[in-house]
Structure 1
Amino acid sequence: MMKKLFSILAVALFLPLQACAVEQWQEGTHYEVINDQATEEKQVLEFFSFWCPHCYNFEPLVEQVKSQLGEDVKFNKVHVNFMGFADKETQDAATRAMMVGRALKKSDKLNKAVFEYIHKQRSPLTSMDDLKNIFAINGVEKAEFDKMVKSFGVNSLFSKNNKLIAQYRQHVRSVPTFIVNGKFRPTFTRDMTPDDMIDLIVWLSQQK
């Protein structure tokens, strides 16, 4: 009897919280539905550019989002090549370098190094050689970089990145843009706090 009472109380407590979340985040105000069907796998895609100052400033929030997502949700950064910060060839080179970092399982460290090279050190990034030097300073041998950047594995990751760009290009008007479960695009309003933005993305990741 006591166990049943606890179960009833748990449900009673959970429902108001759930209703509050649904009431707080409204379609058309806080997010848009961009597809009829959600992806089978729960996922959060962040479309970003290393050259974008907003993306750089958003990085601490991205780390918090990743830490709060459920274990069943995959997070993936998608580097775009259509921003006006640099020519397409250089942006593609940055994407390839990012995939080297991903293949080495050092994405967080190497992505941060590229971001800081551009925004903190304010150094021009104009070629693959610049990226190679950044990686070398951060522990990736230049010979290893040269080998990996042309490897089948990195080519495959690079191709997957560009397929995601093509798939969602019409929905990415600026960066950073988040696409959640292939169906939802969060809209950050002026009155939202950083915690609100994180909560919205995490909440959407559990929606179908």
Structure 2
Amino acid sequence: MRKLVLSAVLATASLFGMAAHAAEFQAGKEYVELKNPVPVAEPEKIEVVELFWYGCPHCYQFEPIINPWVKQLPDDVDFKRVPAMFGGAWNVHGQMFLALESMNVEQDVHDAVFNAYHRDGNKLETPEKMAELVEGHGVDKAAFLKAYNSFGVKSRAEQAKKLGMAYQITGVPVMVVNGKYRFDIGSAGGPERALEVADFLIEKERAAR
């Protein structure tokens, strides 16, 4: 009898904990539910997008926090980074990211770009400066420039612009879960809290399937 009572108490406590967690994040507060959901690349998975800019100090500070989180995501979650394209340096650096992504470079190359901009003061204004930087991290200079100027990368840059508009972003870093829910570090309550919101929304989408 005592075991049954204890089980009932634990079950009630568990349900209460789940309810408390569910109430922790609310649409219109920590995140925004998009009126017009954006189609995802792989509908069979739960898509998580981070929109960023290499020149954004908040994105730079978010990197060591979000990268370990990305590594432990389950197989049913499809994580993508999308460069925010607001014109000028944003577009140039966004095209750089897409060129490097098309070359399947390691994360440490992207880390080197962030460090060059924020730590070393290298603003990477031209493709040539970008090529010189990445060459020092094992990326072929000519291959990078070819990728940077390729039709495929330029087409993906246009797609990134359209995605940013569809998500209705006004700054970065911003995260979008399954094309439905948008939030940023500020609305979430901090970098670590943003990942908690992401986990909450991933679970929300998983439960709805």
TM-score range, shorter chain: 0.7 to 0.9
User: In the alignment, does 2:183 pair up with 1:186?
Assistant: yes
Question: In 2, Cα distance between the equivalents of 1:10 and 1:98?
Answer: 49
Given candidates 198, 203, 207, the residue that maps to 2:204 is 207
Worse-superposed segment, 32-41 or 195-204: 32-41
1:19 maps to 19
Consecutive unaligned residues of structure 1, counting only runs of 5 or more, are: 1-7
Matches within 5 A, 1:164-175: 164-168=163-167, 171-175=168-172
C-alpha deviation, 1:29, in angstroms: 2.1
Return the letter of the residue paired with 2:55: W
1:160 maps to 159
Given candidates 162, 177, 191, the residue that maps to 2:174 is 177
Change (3 A) 1:10 1:186: farther
1:48 maps to 52
Question: In 1, Cα distance between the equivalents of 2:97 and 2:118?
Answer: 17
Matched residue count: 195
Worse-superposed segment, 29-38 or 123-132: 29-38
Question: In 2, Cα distance between the equivalents of 1:34 and 1:190?
Answer: 15
Tell me if structure 1 keeps the 8 A contact 2:51–2:172: yes
User: In the alignment, does 2:62 pair up with 1:65?
Assistant: no
1:103 maps to 102
Matches within 5 A, 1:5-16: 15-16=15-16
Matched residue SS, 2:20: helix
Q: Deviations over 1:85-126 (max 9, x none)?
A: xx62x4323222212221222252222111111101112321
Percent identical pairs in the alignment equals 26
Tell me if structure 1 keeps the 8 A contact 2:38–2:166: no
Matched residue SS, 1:205: helix
Change (3 A) 1:188 1:54: closer
Question: In 2, Cα distance between the equivalents of 1:10 and 1:71?
Answer: 30
Q: Deviations over 1:30-89 (max 9, x none)?
A: 22212365754421111111111111111112213313433211111111221xxxx62x
Tell me if structure 2 keeps the 8 A contact 1:47–1:77: yes
Change (3 A) 1:22 1:117: same
Question: In 2, Cα distance between the equivalents of 1:34 and 1:148?
Answer: 34
What root-mean-square deviation, in Å, do the aligned CA atoms of Structure 1 and Structure 2 show? Answer: 2.9
Change (3 A) 1:135 1:198: same
Tell me if structure 2 keeps the 8 A contact 1:35–1:182: no
Question: In 1, Cα distance between the equivalents of 2:83 and 2:90?
Answer: 8
Tell me if structure 2 keeps the 8 A contact 1:69–1:202: no
Tell me if structure 2 keeps the 8 A contact 1:48–1:78: yes
**Normalised by the size of structure 2, how large is the TM-score?**
0.78
Tell me if structure 2 keeps the 8 A contact 1:51–1:115: yes
